Amino acid sequence: MLLRHAHSRVTVISRLEMQESRSGGLSRMHHLHRYISALFLTAALAASGSIVFAATPQEAGVQVRVYDSNHHDYHNWDDREDRAYRGYLTERHENYRAYDQQNNKHQKNYWNWRHSHPDHD
């Protein structure tokens, strides 16, 4: 460290500051390092954002897959299935209650009904 007196004040100058002021190299290196770090950070954030916002086929259309144990098959629980389920409840004069909150017997009855009432596209 170097002590320098200027107008009755004492200024402490480190060796690093002295080398920087002589060469100017450390200042340029420091700015270059900050620039490269910012570039990598921006690239990492952009890459992670594209991963987070990319919709997978599961998220795009199919919400849940339900296994029908009586018929040994799977059904995608999507908007179409929800409409069919609501039609089943209306036909039976039952109030709406979410499928996953119904007991096992009610769910089996729904899938039996559903297999006899397929979608007609």
Mean pLDDT by 10 residues, the chain (121 residues): 50 56 63 76 66 51 80 91 95 94 94 90 61
Q: CB atoms < 10 A from the CB of 71, how many?
A: 13
- Domain-ending residue, one of 53, 68, 96: 53
**Residue 75 located in a structural domain:** yes
Is there a contact between 63 and 77 (Cβ–Cβ < 8 Å)? yes
Q: What are phi and psi of 88, to 5 degrees?
A: -60, -45
Q: Which domain holds residue 80?
A: 59-116
**Residue 121 located in a structural domain:** no
- Domain-ending residue, one of 53, 71, 90: 53
Shared-domain flag, residues 20 and 66: no
| Distance (Å, whole) CA 110 – CA 70 | 11
**pTM of this structure:** 0.48
